[in-house]
Amino acid sequence: MSQTEIPPAIPDSSHDRWTDVTPQALYDKCTTVARNLWWSWHPEVVNLFRDLDPVRWRQLDHNPIALLSEMTPDQLAQRASEMVLYTRINQAHRRLKEYLSNTQTTWGAREAGVLGSSPVAYFSAEFGIHESVPIYSGGLGVLSGDHIKSASGLGVPLVAIGLFYDQGFFKQHLDIDGFQHEEYLDTKVENLAMEPARDPQGEPITIAIDTLDGKLQAKVWLMRVGRVPLYLLDCDVEGNRPEDRELTSRLYGGDVRTRIRQELVLGVGGVKALRALGIFPGVFHLNEGHSAFAPLEVIRQRMHDDGMTFDDALREVAQKTVFTTHTPVPAGHDRFDANLVEEHLGPLRQQLGISGEQLMGLGRVEPQNENESFCMTVIGLKLSRRANAVSSLHGHVSRRMWAHLWPWRVEEEIPIGHITNGVHVPSWLAYPMQSLYDKYLGANWQQTMGDPKVWQNIYNVDPGELWETHNALKSRLLEFVRRRMSRQCRYRNEDENAVEAARNVLDPSALTIGFARRFATYKRADLFLRNLDRFSELINDSNRPVQFIFAGKAHPADEPGKKLIQRIANLRHDPQFAGRIVFIEDYDINVGRHLIQGVDVWLNNPRRPLEASGTSGQKVVLNGGLNCSVLDGWWAEAYNGKNGFGIGHGTQHADDEIGDQRDAEELLRVLGDEVIPLFYDRDADGLPLEWIDRMTNSIATLAARFSAHRMVMDYVKHSYLVAAGGVSAKMNMP
């Protein structure tokens, strides 16, 4: 884990005695804490688990349940005694208990009280909560995880629904030629903080969905994320056909049929699960089209329970439904043909009393157009009264993209607003930075961090202190890179020289630029490769050296993406770049956390306007790194000329090739004229004062605005309360 340097607790002799608590009671306290993912955003608790066995902690992907399962209560007590952990265990346990019981004084209790008995049901196909829970692949998952953590912190009444993937997303290895290989590992359920979800009678829940091809069943797990229950549907149940038992094995695996079946389970199955749990949501929040079948099942329940007509039930359900679109990239919008839709939705459609054509019409822009396939985003937009994009620019793009759904409206009146994404601060903030904030922002800042005024105090920080803190984080990142690089070499059986070189790779004093994200084409990880000679000249100036850390996975079916990874990874064999450009394998939350906490600069150069928001750069802000980014997604509304660096001028080109070439030039210009000179402009004490100014500006102007606390508060105020009928405010339109 990256949060280190927590001073050991002062031994409190009244608590650190064997006699106070039996080994079994101590073990039970640890288990209780490990079984709520609350621990994952509390560095002092993370460090407590790590201190139980630092080596195994790392080997077990930072999984406390797996770690505890390797110890007997007596061994744990022995270790706790040696390491003086009794007080820390008691404290962690007490703090969790207080957190869970302390629900009356939260922001949510004050501002979202009406949702109390009818919570928000938050649907997402993936949740990225911690590296030890591999049920996410990338941005959408991490965002969903951050959303529910902030909802927990704010005390917003919310339950989450997702799928349990027992093989999750793949582990990435590069072979000796730099080519990506995927490894799927079975997750051990007993090592996850999950238990069977139970109905009000205490019975485990299994839901069933009728298709024309037979019944599809799923069991339901409960994972506790602070105060938020996360319910995960899992098709690995007896009674399902063998191929269906594997339906939810992998994230974004399989063909289009797998896809619609997974989405049927998430949407329709998710709503059935909530009913079985005795939960009656006041708001349904659908994230991306994956769960957009959900309202159909809610409509069915309304018709069945209260004898409503389809049209009346649809109107009522749409009022309670919020749809968030997360990408303008076409591949992100699932489409199914009529046969697949009828096979899977046929029985439900009959209960709704609508024809096949009517159902198809809900997923089509032009309901009667038989050449149009069924689009999950279209049905999501049609079955929700409130929809939003995830940044201001993405709002504009989405309104244009879906304008033909409302042909009688002008573009400004297309009912898609925006709520810009943000990140869960406690999950991404490095401990040394947290200490700095504790000192300058006031002890209570974590409770009020959604308020921009709180962050103005960052201007009181001594520049030298900020710089030193950043450099400590940077050296921790370099240690991590060296450890990973040598491990990668050993895994590939490279010779001792290579391993030794990996152990010493990178220069702690050089300007360090990070780039980590999925290797999707529009993200243009290869933009810098377009002018390789000039690039080499730029970064190899011996007075002002620059180095790059890359990471990211390509989708298993994406050959061009894999080729791109190969090209970048193999630069390590090129004498111009050896030791200056490294590729860290298996990008995940852990790799991401190290990178965003330690880099000087975070590079982001997507093809505008395809990056709907992006959140990794927001994590960098909190830790004192500077963004250097195309004016796309969140950065288009964040950059003010003094809080980072902007690539280009927010223009787009109709021709991709010309646009790419122009942005490639602009990237080198910004690096050469702005980033590198500013970083190496030092005062007599060796401090880059203007650079530190930018760090301060970045934190002061961006930390609050791009926090998940602000994001969730916006959803509550502008979306959830309106959908629940509490207030009649309008969705925030730009």
DSSP H or E segment with residue 162: strand 158-163
- Regarding 219 and contact with ligand PLP (CB under 6 A), the answer is no
Determine contact, residues 576/545, Cβ cutoff 8 Å: no
Range in contact with ligand PLP (rule: CB under 6 A) among 115-123, 191-199, 556-564, 615-623: 615-623
For 527-563, b where at least 16 C-beta lie within 10 A, e where not — what string?
A: bbebbeeebeebbeeeebbbbbbbbbbbbbebeebbb
Task: Return the number of the residue (119 or 253) whose C-beta is nearest ligand PLP.
Answer: 253
Kindly identify the residues of this chain, within the stretch 311-350, that bind ligand PLP according to CB under 6 A. Answer: none
- Regarding 589 and contact with ligand PLP (CB under 6 A), the answer is yes
Task: Return the number of the residue (302 or 555) whose C-beta is nearest ligand PLP.
Answer: 555
- Regarding 588 and contact with ligand PLP (CB under 6 A), the answer is yes
Shortest reach from residue 588's CB to ligand PLP, in Å: 5
- Regarding 592 and contact with ligand PLP (CB under 6 A), the answer is yes
- Residues binding ligand PLP: number (CB under 6 A): 12
Kindly identify the residues of this chain, within the stretch 118-147, that bind ligand PLP according to CB under 6 A. Answer: 138-139, 142
- Regarding 614 and contact with ligand PLP (CB under 6 A), the answer is yes
Kindly identify the residues of this chain, within the stretch 449-508, that bind ligand PLP according to CB under 6 A. Answer: none
Task: Return the number of the residue (386 or 476) whose C-beta is nearest ligand PLP.
Answer: 476
**105 burial level (CB within 10 Å; 0-12, 13-18, 19+):** exposed
Shortest reach from residue 549's CB to ligand PLP, in Å: 14
β pairing state of 283-287 and 321-324: parallel
Task: Return the number of the residue (275 or 593) whose C-beta is nearest ligand PLP.
Answer: 593
Range in contact with ligand PLP (rule: CB under 6 A) among 1-9, 483-491, 587-595, 710-718: 587-595
Q: Within its chain, how far is the Cα of 504 from the centroid? A: 31
As beta bridge partners, residue 160 has 122, 230
Determine contact, residues 441/703, Cβ cutoff 8 Å: no
Shortest reach from residue 4's CB to ligand PLP, in Å: 19
- Regarding 2 and contact with ligand PLP (CB under 6 A), the answer is no
Nearest to 265 by CA among 302, 200, 221, 317: 221
Kindly identify the residues of this chain, within the stretch 154-213, that bind ligand PLP according to CB under 6 A. Answer: none
Determine contact, residues 487/503, Cβ cutoff 8 Å: no
Output DSSP code: residue 565. Answer: H
- Of 615, 629, 701, 719, the one binding ligand PLP (CB under 6 A) is 615
Shortest reach from residue 402's CB to ligand PLP, in Å: 22
Shortest reach from residue 138's CB to ligand PLP, in Å: 4
Q: Within its chain, how far is the Cα of 270 from the centroid? A: 21
Range in contact with ligand PLP (rule: CB under 6 A) among 478-486, 507-515, 614-622, 695-703: 614-622
- Of 63, 597, 616, 697, the one binding ligand PLP (CB under 6 A) is 616
Kindly identify the residues of this chain, within the stretch 505-534, that bind ligand PLP according to CB under 6 A. Answer: 517
As beta bridge partners, residue 122 has 160, 285
Determine contact, residues 571/492, Cβ cutoff 8 Å: no
Shortest reach from residue 323's CB to ligand PLP, in Å: 20
Output DSSP code: residue 133. Answer: S
- Regarding 585 and contact with ligand PLP (CB under 6 A), the answer is no
Q: Which two tokens stand for residue 434?
A: 């947290």
Kindly list the distances between the CA atom of residue 139 and the CA atoms of 27, 239, 423, in Å, as whole numbers in the listed order. Answer: 35, 34, 11
| Ordered DSSP codes for 654-707 | SSHHHHHHHHHHHHHHHIIIIIHHHHH---TTS--HHHHHHHHHHHHHHTTTTB
Task: Return the number of the residue (528 or 720) whose C-beta is nearest ligand PLP.
Answer: 528
Task: Return the number of the residue (184 or 440) whose C-beta is nearest ligand PLP.
Answer: 184
Q: CA-to-CA distance for 427 and 672, rounded, in angstroms? A: 33
- Regarding 598 and contact with ligand PLP (CB under 6 A), the answer is no
Task: Return the number of the residue (234 or 588) whose C-beta is nearest ligand PLP.
Answer: 588
Shortest reach from residue 33's CB to ligand PLP, in Å: 24
* Largest interatomic CA distance in the chain: 79
Shortest reach from residue 583's CB to ligand PLP, in Å: 15
Q: Which two tokens stand for residue 77?
A: 């007590």
Shortest reach from residue 262's CB to ligand PLP, in Å: 20
Residues that bind ligand PLP (CB under 6 A): 138-139, 142, 517, 587-589, 592, 614-616, 619
